[in-house]
Amino acid sequence: MRIGELAQATGTKAETIRYYERAGILPAADRTDSNYRDYSDEHLATLTFVRRARALGFSMAQVRELLALSDHDDKPCENVDQLVRQQLSEVDSKIADLTALREELGQLLQSCEADRIGDCRIVESLSASRARP
Amino acid sequence: MRIGELAQATGTKAETIRYYERAGILPAADRTDSNYRDYSDEHLATLTFVRRARALGFSMAQVRELLALSDHDDKPCENVDQLVRQQLSEVDSKIADLTALREELGQLLQSCEADRIGDCRIVESLSASRARP
DNA sequence: ATGCACCTTGTAGCAGCTACAAGGTCAAGC
DNA sequence: GCTTGACCTTGTAGCTGCTACAAGGTGCAT
Ligand SMILES: [Zn+2]
Ligand SMILES: [Zn+2]
Ligand SMILES: [Zn+2]
Ligand SMILES: [Zn+2]
């Protein structure tokens, strides 16, 4: 299949696919006589894997690791599980950060009882550190 | 004060401060005879504002808006509040996304009962779409 | 023959820094 | 007086994960 079909099949832009090749995430495809990339079903499977892993928040580096691991059917899957656990804990900590942020933003919003910027507690709170009366 | 002191005082790297100047976030400082940047207390206040806003997740563009707004004491603070509300809702939607991710990763983790990668459901689930028996 | 959709490469851009390199300045210590 | 070292200056390039061109080649229908 050509790059456009693969793109369609995986919901990826052709430019992104070429980028993955450059980045060493997706192996280079064969070429037709007219130098078009010619992808196999295996490429399709790999790209699907990549997209799914990316959608789950794995970094390119992690995806590379996952791909390398998934090539070794006979090895223990401990390392795979480990990567997933790691990603899970990163997501957890991002959620925690954002939740704290959310809290602060909420308090900011509530703090405004003024009508003009000169009296606005929001602006005040942004300028100074959070010490408030 | 020189850039190093300002950096220290605000927990910002000197290189970042220069970047903010280039990016039009922080006004250019005066220069000493030897061409060193010489910052005022107002710069300190502005940079504090900027860092706080950035820490709250506002983009550079939003910070620029906030700075512009905070310059106009007499204008209504509605626009400030609006920016905060917008940021709050962006944070909310990121939290929602990450929570969904977290859920999927958790299920992935639970799905593994194998010892070797060839049988690992995690690898399987990453490859195919989520249709599972 | 002409149009059009597709493909190719290469390059540059986005955010928000960070990390050099190559050099100038200033105070302290000997 | 001179060196050492901490600071400062500019400029440029790198990071992540794409995305968007531009300039040209190919394949097929009309
Ligand atoms: Zn208000
Ligand atoms: Zn207000
Ligand atoms: Zn396992
Ligand atoms: Zn497993």
pLDDT single digits (tens) A8-35: 999 999 999 999 999 999 999 999 999 9
pLDDT at B131: 43
With beta carbons less than 8 A apart as the criterion, state whether B88 and B80 touch: no
Joined together, the tokens standing for residue A74 give 């006979």
* B-proximal residues of A, 7-26, CB under 8 Å: none
**How distant is C1' of C9 from CA of A50, in Å?**
24
Kindly report, residue by residue over B92-117, the tens digit of the pLDDT: 999 999 999 999 999 999 998 888 99
Kindly report, residue by residue over B46-84, the tens digit of the pLDDT: 999 999 999 999 999 999 999 999 999 989 999 999 999
For residue B132, pLDDT beyond 70: no
Chain B CB within 8 Å of residue A30 CB? no
Chain A CB within 8 Å of residue B119 CB? yes
Beta carbons of B98 and A99 less than 8 Å apart: no
Beta carbons of B74 and A105 less than 8 Å apart: no
With beta carbons less than 8 A apart as the criterion, state whether B77 and B42 touch: no
% of chain B exceeding 70 in pLDDT: 96
* B-proximal residues of A, 82-111, CB under 8 Å: 84-85, 87-88, 91-92, 94-95, 98-99, 101-102, 104-106, 108-109
% of chain A exceeding 90 in pLDDT: 85
Q: Which residue of A has its CA nearest to B113?
A: A77
pTM here is 0.88
* A-proximal residues of B, 42-81, CB under 8 Å: 45, 48-49, 52-53, 56-57, 66, 69-70, 72-77, 80-81
pLDDT at B129: 55
